[in-house]
Amino acid sequence: MSQILVFLGPPGAGKGTQARVVAKELGIPHISTGDILREAVREKTGLGLAAKAKIDKGELVPDEVICGIAEERLSKPDCVGGAILDGFPRTIAQADFLEGLLQRTGRGKPLVLNIDVATESVLRRLTGRRTCSTCGEIYNIYMNPPRQDGICNKDGGRLIQRADDNEEAIRTRLKAYEEDTSPLIDFYKRRNVLHHVDGSGEPEAITERLLSFVKTHDYL
Ligand code: AP5
């Protein structure tokens, strides 16, 4: 079985933007726990109804719930050739769980890429984010606007703003990142699997950095 890639970084680092493109390029699934939760909210499943208030406020969903989601998704056959995890793990408990899961399933350690961005740029990235309601393509009204206002370039879908992309929820998400997720940098550094990738500049340049890193580290 091939390795699991983990994209780490604060909200707005560009994890989703990059994971979509890199996963396509490598021919492996992009697994975003945020996307899975938002879909559950849209479909009003039990999970969605239970998680909605936390997501909207920018608080983390409980570890047991998230670990269950990740385990189920990673057990699907399309993950045999590897996968990119975006937004998971984001607590030490989740990272411990993933470590055990990968050991049990004979996959070994993940390759962890931390996307470094300055905190100042994150607010503008998040308040300007718009996402296609049908294909999930990600835009930014300030930095990467669609050709036609509110409409996806790729499939003509309606662009929407995430409920947690308001200043109050963003502050809560950044606090959750500092308190619960940033300790993962040390966690993975101690395991010798952490690599930093500069997340500034044009998205295409960052994709190149990520791909060249993955290729030189013989990921697949
Ligand atoms: P999640 O969906 O994972 O959100 P997040 O971690 O806050 O990350 P974002 O999606 O906001 O940022 P991103 O790094 O993907 O940035 P993007 O590429 O979109 O989680 C949402 C919620 O779900 C959580 O708050 C929590 O409640 C729950 N949850 C999910 N996973 C969980 C877990 N494991 N445990 C507990 N709870 C969990 O880019 C952002 C913007 O910047 C876009 O507009 C984009 O166009 C723009 N941009 C990207 N790159 C560039 C660039 N190079 N230059 C200029 N603009 C750029």
pLDDT of residue 82: 94
- 1 pLDDT tier (thresholds 50, 70, 90): very low
pLDDT digits (tens, 9 = 90+) for 159-174: 999 999 999 999 999 9
Q: Is the CB of 10 under 6 A from ligand 1?
A: no
pTM above 0.75, yes or no: yes
Number of H helices, E strands in the chain: 9, 8
By C-alpha distance, which of 116, 117, 115, 146 is closest to 129? 146
Q: Is the CB of 81 under 6 A from ligand 1?
A: no
CA 16 – ligand 1 centroid, Å: 6
Tokens of 165: 């992309």
Q: Of ligand 1's atoms, which has the minimum distance to the CA of residue 203?
A: 53
Q: Is the CB of 129 under 6 A from ligand 1?
A: yes
Task: Indicate if the pLDDT at residue 210 is higher than 80.
Answer: yes
Task: Indicate if the pLDDT at residue 91 is higher than 90.
Answer: yes
Which residues make beta-bridge pairs with 140?
129, 144
Mean pLDDT along residues 128-138: 96
CA 87 – ligand 1 centroid, Å: 7
pLDDT of residue 119: 83
- 219 pLDDT tier (thresholds 50, 70, 90): low
Q: Of ligand 1's atoms, which has the minimum distance to the CA of residue 205?
A: 53
Q: Is the CB of 54 under 6 A from ligand 1?
A: yes
Residues classed as catalytic = 15, 90, 129, 162, 173
pLDDT digits (tens, 9 = 90+) for 9-63: 999 999 999 999 999 999 999 999 999 999 999 999 999 999 999 999 999 999 9
| Contact in structure between 82 and 5 (CB atoms under 8 Å) | yes
Task: Indicate if the pLDDT at residue 155 is higher than 60.
Answer: yes
CA 15 – ligand 1 centroid, Å: 6
Q: Is the CB of 88 under 6 A from ligand 1?
A: yes
2: CB partners within 8 A, 6+ apart: 28, 80, 81, 82, 107, 219, 220
By C-alpha distance, which of 139, 143, 138 is closest to 124? 143
CA distances from 90 to 7, 123, 184, 211, 212 (A): 10, 20, 7, 23, 25
| Contact in structure between 89 and 177 (CB atoms under 8 Å) | no
104: CB partners within 8 A, 6+ apart: none
Q: Please tell me the residue having the least CA distance from ligand 1 atom 52.
A: 203
pLDDT of residue 2: 63
Query: Helix or strand or coil: residue 83?
Result: strand
| Contact in structure between 129 and 162 (CB atoms under 8 Å) | yes
| Contact in structure between 126 and 142 (CB atoms under 8 Å) | no
CA 75 – ligand 1 centroid, Å: 24
Secondary structure E strands in the chain: 4-8, 30-32, 83-86, 111-116, 129-132, 138-140, 159-160, 194-198
d(CA 31, CA 23): 9
CA 165 – ligand 1 centroid, Å: 9
pLDDT of residue 159: 98
Task: Indicate if the pLDDT at residue 218 is higher than 80.
Answer: no
Q: Of ligand 1's atoms, which has the minimum distance to the CA of residue 129?
A: 44
Residue 109: φ, ψ to 5°? -75, 150
By C-alpha distance, which of 193, 215, 7, 217 is closest to 99? 193
Report the percent of the chain where pLDDT is more than 70.
98
- 121 pLDDT tier (thresholds 50, 70, 90): confident
d(CA 124, CA 12): 9
- 134 pLDDT tier (thresholds 50, 70, 90): very high
